[in-house]
């Protein structure tokens, strides 16, 4: 609190550039030396940060080294299993029921109007964007 | 047609407009906590969407802010600024550098997280005399927290802040704890920013072994909605950002109580009227400064232009006349000179010719003849060609006289007369043809009239039959033409074959070759080894011969026939109206168009209406109403389509079971499945608890009731409820838990424990993860 009020005073005396002063002041709250974080023995943390995919694969490797009971809840084991219920088909364009499928690009559609007006005149690539919504797009590697 | 459309339009009142909401910058700075005391546990609910932090001596979290951080280099001050949470939104320039420490549900940037914790603790007013954080910490972590996450957090808390003791728990369980006695049974549906968890609870303790996670949450929902809208309005003039889509999702999406039923009728006009949401993106309609010209001004301009044209014409005429006069004078002078030739000496002639600029006498003659010709032409032009009635018997006396009886002069004249005569005869012939046509028409009319008189019904039905036949023919040909556009269609393939055959025949293929071809019947047009089409460049000329022009011409002709038939029917058949015509059936009625209602809602697209009225396209594009309309989004099916993914993840291509299927699985297979009194499942279904941000979606609880009722036996005592405050109840649970020393005291991990047992170790306390050791 003491630090906060000191900064308030500092701000009052320098009303030059409002937004800039403001940002500097806000930033200082976070970046100033904190009285509650003074550990001279702290090792600097490693710089390299892994993306979430790698974190999960590391976790899988780590869990394999353990001899775990079958029902141990881990980050990877609690994922919802694939659905066993029959899935309904929906129109990719409108979201209405989609009983028909265009064999050329596998897009599902609601009726002939959607086919005539949208699917037939679709610029190339857009069909893949629609398919991507339900993860059915072709991924070239 | 047009007036009726306008009348229809007037029946509808304008739709209510909702403004597209962006983030609103906070007016007040993030508050500082005034009553900091050492030793009081600090609860940190560090969600991927927002941080809720506070000392547990208060009843509500002191600071709730978005989990964002912006690092910004101030070049003038040579300093990197670090702005956290809601403060990020106070300066527009920080927008592009805004980041989050999370990737999905997990922390990936520990630097950012540390800065955010510094910021949080500063705002809680934390101070210390010994360089350590002298408060116990209660913190949330993901369900089934990976080791790397917990290790990182331990390192931060014990090594950076040197906290005395730490406890970790699961946010949805804390939320349930806040809303229950702490010893009850239930099923927690925790909808988060990145994922949704379903956690059964027995005696107040989460049963983690039966917990399931659906990888779908609020962030995926808003992202999905954004993608849907980008595809629905590909030419939308302004880009929707994260806050736009999040606000749209929060404000207008709702869980459908019966998805299938609602979906089937969503685009019915009366339903759409109540459910279609129009969102207006901010748009600056500047009336163009260039004032529109009035009609008078336009007329004046046209008049001016006409006059100018006339003047130019007159000038040209004047010039022509002057030239003509000059030419005539020249001609007279030179012809006189020519007449003098016999009287002059050759030297004299050539001298005079040279002085006038001629090369020799030949050049002079040439010039003279050209002069004569142009003069003659001018005279011809001036004398208007008038159709003079001629008497064919006497007009051309020379035509029938043989050449040898005529002088040279007369032969020339005869040739001219012959030409005139032929012209005259041709004219007469066409006149005759016209007359015959008219007679035929009159006769046909009379016949038709007589037929109508005799048996009107027969006439009408036969005409209608004829019309139907023509229409079907027209449609068939239209289909054929359409299929030619697709190179792979059967019709196009057949046509190609025909073309190839034709080309082959034209190049004079021997019968042997064609027999050979026939033998190779299996070979297709693409791989026929005997196909030499294209070897000769002339082969390609066949394409010029076989175009689709003939079909198009036929189409036009059929259309004309249809029109004339319809004219007749309209004229004489009182039961045949304009609405019955082929053209009327082809016109577009937006109320029957799924696409139109999906994109433009329950109002006619005014662009189409204006085009129908024949307004200049440029004027349409600049019309303020149109510009406004172009900045509008209609939300209709998306409103239920996006939240539905929680119940049917396959809509978004997620191969996981939805909320109800997972719950059914848990209740019937993983517990005893006894829904009568005394059973485990029986007690669990009496408290289905929904928490997390998505719990705020309207109808969530009633949908869960519907879904559960579907698989539960009749009469099962189902009770579904929502957290009091789905967002902050997790923090309230942490606070309640911290104050209940009986529950919490033995659950902290001290720094000593951490150093002894390592980062894998936690104490199991019923609201947190299990210890994997």
Contact at CB, A83 and B121, closer than 8 angstroms: no
Total domains present in chain B: 4
SS (H, E, C) B24-64: CCCCCCCCCCCCCCCCCCEEEEECCCEEEEEECCCCCCCEE
CA B3 to CA B208: how far, in whole Å?
68
B424 DSSP 8-state letter: H
Q: Is residue B670 part of a domain?
A: no
User: What would the two tokens of residue B177 be?
Assistant: 């704890």
- Look at residue B721 in the predicted model and tell me its pLDDT: 95
Residue B285 lies in a domain: no
- Say how far apart CA A113 and CA A119 lie, in whole Å: 9
**Which helix (H) or strand (E) is B80 found in, with range?**
strand B79-84
Residue A57 is predicted with a pLDDT of: 93
| A36 → closest Cβ in B126, B228, B650 | B126
- Say whether A27 and B772 touch across the interface (CB within 8 A): no
| Contact across the interface for B74 and A31, Cβ inside 8 Å | no
A30-89 residues touching B, CB cutoff 8 A:
30-31, 34-39, 42-43, 45, 49-52, 55-56, 58-59, 62-63, 66, 68, 71-85, 87-88
CB B40 within 8 A of CB A9: no
What count of other Cβ atoms lies within 10 Å of the Cβ of residue B262? 16
Token pair belonging to B116: 């955010």
Residues B211, A73: C-beta atoms closer than 8 Å? yes
ipTM, 2 decimals?
0.86
d(CA B203, CA B223): 38
B389 within domain boundaries: no
* Residue B676, Cβ density class (10 Å: 0-12 exposed, 13-18 middle, ≥19 buried): exposed
User: Mean pLDDT for each consecutive 10-residue tract of chain B (773 residues)?
Assistant: 43 86 86 91 94 94 94 86 90 87 92 94 92 94 93 92 94 95 93 95 93 95 96 92 94 95 93 93 72 77 91 92 89 84 80 81 85 81 57 75 80 85 90 94 90 88 90 88 79 80 61 54 62 74 68 86 87 82 77 90 84 80 86 94 96 94 93 87 94 95 95 92 94 94 88 90 91 79
- Residue B451's CB is within 10 A of a number of other CB atoms, namely 14
The answer to whether B727 touches B50, Cβ cutoff 8 Å, is: yes
Per-domain residue ranges of chain A: 2-31, 50-80, 87-141
Distances (CA, A) of B233 to A72, B238, B281: 47, 10, 13
The CATH number assigned to the domain holding B87 equals: 3.30.420.40
Q: What is the pLDDT of residue B84?
A: 93
User: Look-up: residue for tokens 């559609």?
Assistant: A109
Phi, psi of B695 (to 5 degrees): -60, -20
**Alpha helix ranges (H) inside B253-385:** 259-265, 269-275, 295-340, 346-355, 361-382
pLDDT at position B5, please? 41
Asked, for residue B470, whether it belongs to a domain, the answer is yes
Please report, rounded to a whole number, the percentage of residues in chain A having pLDDT higher than 90. 46
Domain that holds residue B82: 42-179+728-757
What span, in angstroms and rounded, lies between the C-alpha atoms of B185 and B180? 9
Same-domain check for residues B464 and B428: no
Q: Is residue B668 part of a domain?
A: no
Identify the CA nearest to A96 among candidates B637, B596, B595.
B637
Residue of A26, A46, A116 to mutate when probing chain B, most B C-beta within 10 A:
A26
Cα B569-B572-B573 angle, rounded to 5 deg: 65
Domain assignment present for residue B283? The answer is no
Structural Rg of chain A based on CA atoms: 28
Phi and psi dihedrals of B92, rounded to 5? -65, -30
CA distance B124 to B53: 8
Q: What is the pLDDT of residue B403?
A: 78
Q: How far apart are CA B760 and CA B749, in angstroms?
A: 11
Classify the C-alpha dihedral B143-B146-B148-B154 as positive or negative: positive
Q: State the distance between the two ends of chain B, measured CA to CA, in whole angstroms.
A: 79
Beta carbons of B52 and B64 less than 8 angstroms apart:
yes
Q: Do the Cβ atoms of B657 and A95 come within 8 Å?
A: no
d(CA B343, CA B353) in angstroms, rounded, equals: 15
**Residue that wins the pLDDT comparison between B427 and A46:** B427
Query: Would an 8 Å CB–CB cutoff place A119 in contact with chain B?
Result: no
B80 to each of A18, B69, B118, B289, how far by Cα in Å? Answer: 18, 13, 16, 45
Residue B513, helix vs strand vs coil: helix
- My answer on whether B528 and B465 are in the same domain is yes
pTM equals 0.73
Q: Are B24 and B121 in contact (CB under 8 A)?
A: no
Of the pLDDT bands very low, low, confident and very high (cuts 50, 70, 90), residue A6 is very low
Element (H, E) at B626: helix B624-630
Q: Which pLDDT does position A4 carry in this prediction?
A: 37
Phi, psi of A63 (to 5 degrees): -70, -30
Kindly state whether residues B416 and B541 are assigned to the same domain.
no
User: Which residue in chain B is spatially nearest to A89 when comparing CA positions?
Assistant: B651
Inter-chain residue contact B123 with A59, CB threshold 8 Å: no
User: What's the Cα-to-Cα distance from B428 to each of B390, B416, B419, B434, rounded to whole Å?
Assistant: 12, 19, 14, 10
Of B109, B213, B260, the CB nearest to A80: B213
Q: Which residues of A touch B658 (CB under 8 A)?
A: 83
User: What are φ and ψ of residue B701, in 5° steps?
Assistant: -65, -45
Q: Does residue B138 sit within a domain?
A: yes
- Note whether residue B554 is domain-resident: yes
* DSSP code at position B718: -
CB-CB under 8 Å, B657 with A80: yes
């Amino acid at each position: 609190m003491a630090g906060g009020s000191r900064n308030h005073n500092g701000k009052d005396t320098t009303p030059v550039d409002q937004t800039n002063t403001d940002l500097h002041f806000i930033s200082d709250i976070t970046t100033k030396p904190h009285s509650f974080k003074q550990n001279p023995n702290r090792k600097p943390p490693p710089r390299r940060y892994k993306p979430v995919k790698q974190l999960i694969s590391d976790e899988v490797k780590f869990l394999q080294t353990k001899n775990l009971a079958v029902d141990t809840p881990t980050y990877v084991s609690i994922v919802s299993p694939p659905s066993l219920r029959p899935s309904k088909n929906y129109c990719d364009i409108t979201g209405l029921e989609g009983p028909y499928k265009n064999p050329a690009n596998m897009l599902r559609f609601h009726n002939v109007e959607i086919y005539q007006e949208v699917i037939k005149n679709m610029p190339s690539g857009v069909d893949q964007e629609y398919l991507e919504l339900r993860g059915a797009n072709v991924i070239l590697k | 047609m047009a007036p009726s459309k306008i009348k229809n339009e007037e029946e509808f009142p304008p739709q209510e407009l909702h403004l597209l909401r962006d983030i609103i910058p906070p007016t007040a700075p993030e508050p500082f906590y005034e009553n900091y005391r050492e030793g009081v546990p600090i609860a940190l609910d560090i969600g991927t969407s927002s941080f809720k932090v506070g000392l547990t001596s208060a009843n509500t979290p002191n600071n709730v802010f978005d989990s964002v951080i912006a690092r910004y280099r101030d070049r003038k001050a040579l300093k990197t600024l670090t702005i956290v949470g809601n403060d990020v939104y106070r300066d527009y320039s920080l927008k592009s550098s805004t980041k989050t420490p999370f990737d999905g549900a997990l922390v990936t940037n520990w630097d950012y997280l540390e800065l955010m914790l510094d910021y949080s603790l500063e705002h809680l007013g934390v101070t210390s005399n010994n360089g350590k954080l002298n408060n116990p910490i209660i913190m949330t972590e993901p369900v089934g927290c990976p080791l790397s996450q917990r290790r990182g957090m331990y390192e931060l808390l014990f090594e950076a802040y040197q906290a005395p003791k730490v406890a970790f728990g699961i946010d949805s369980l804390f939320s349930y704890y806040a809303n229950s006695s702490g010893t009850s049974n239930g099923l927690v549906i925790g909808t988060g920013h990145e994922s949704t968890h379903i956690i059964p609870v027995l005696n107040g303790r989460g049963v983690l072994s039966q917990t399931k996670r659906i990888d779908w949450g609020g962030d995926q929902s808003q992202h999905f909605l954004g993608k849907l809208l980008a595809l629905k309005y590909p030419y939308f003039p302004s880009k929707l950002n994260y806050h736009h889509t999040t606000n749209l999702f929060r404000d207008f999406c709702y869980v459908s109580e019966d998805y299938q039923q609602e979906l089937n009728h969503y685009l019915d006009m009366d339903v759409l009227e109540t459910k279609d949401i129009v969102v207006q993106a901010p748009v600056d309609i500047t009336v163009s400064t260039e004032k529109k010209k009035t009609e008078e001004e336009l007329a004046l301009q046209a008049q001016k232009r006409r006059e100018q044209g006339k003047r130019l014409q007159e000038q040209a005429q004047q010039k022509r006349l002057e030239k003509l006069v000059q030419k005539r004078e020249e001609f007279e002078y030179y012809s006189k000179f020519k007449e003098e030739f016999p009287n002059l000496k050759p030297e004299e002639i050539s001298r005079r010719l040279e002085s006038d600029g001629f090369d020799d006498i030949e050049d002079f003659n040439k010039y003279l003849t050209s002069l004569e010709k142009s003069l003659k032409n001018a005279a011809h032009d001036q004398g208007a060609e008038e159709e003079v009635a001629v008497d064919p018997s006497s007009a051309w006396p020379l035509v029938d006289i043989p050449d040898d009886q005529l002088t040279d002069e007369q032969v020339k004249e005869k040739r001219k007369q012959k030409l005139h005569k032929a012209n005259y005869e041709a004219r007469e012939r066409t006149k005759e043809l016209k007359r015959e046509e008219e007679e035929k028409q009159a006769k046909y009319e009379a016949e038709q009239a007589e037929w109508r008189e005799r048996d009107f019904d027969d006439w009408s039905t036969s005409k209608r039959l004829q019309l139907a036949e023509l229409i079907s023919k027209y449609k068939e040909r239209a289909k054929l033409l359409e299929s030619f556009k697709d190179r792979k269609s059967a019709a196009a393939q057949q046509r190609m074959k025909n073309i190839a055959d034709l080309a082959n025949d034209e190049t004079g293929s021997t019968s042997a070759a064609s027999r050979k071809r026939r033998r190779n019947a299996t070979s297709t047009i693409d791989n026929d080894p005997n196909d030499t089409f294209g070897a000769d460049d002339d082969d390609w000329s066949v394409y010029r011969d076989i175009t689709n022009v003939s079909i198009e011409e036929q189409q036009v002709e059929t259309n004309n026939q249809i029109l004339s038939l319809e004219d007749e029917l309209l004229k004489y058949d009182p039961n045949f109206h304009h609405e019955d015509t082929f053209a009327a059936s082809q016109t577009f009625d937006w109320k029957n168009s799924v696409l139109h209602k999906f994109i433009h809602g329950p109002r006619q697209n005014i662009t189409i209406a204006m085009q129908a009225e024949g307004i200049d396209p440029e004027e349409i594009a600049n019309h303020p109403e149109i510009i406004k309309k172009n900045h509008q989004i209609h939300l209709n099916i998306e409103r239920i389509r996006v939240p539905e993914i929680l119940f049917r993840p396959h809509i978004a291509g997620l191969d996981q079971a939805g909320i109800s299927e997972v719950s059914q699985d848990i209740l019937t297979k993983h517990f005893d499945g006894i829904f009568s009194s005394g059973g485990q499942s029986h007690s669990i279904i009496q408290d289905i608890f929904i928490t997390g941000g998505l719990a705020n979606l309207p109808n969530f609880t009633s949908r869960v009731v519907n879904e559960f009722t579907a698989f539960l036996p009749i009469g099962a005592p189902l009770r579904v409820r929502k957290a009091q405050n789905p967002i902050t109840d997790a923090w309230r649970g942490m606070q309640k838990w911290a104050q209940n020393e009986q529950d919490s005291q033995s659950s902290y991990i001290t720094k000593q424990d951490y150093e002894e047992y390592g980062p894998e170790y936690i104490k199991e306390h019923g609201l947190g993860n299990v210890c994997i050791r």
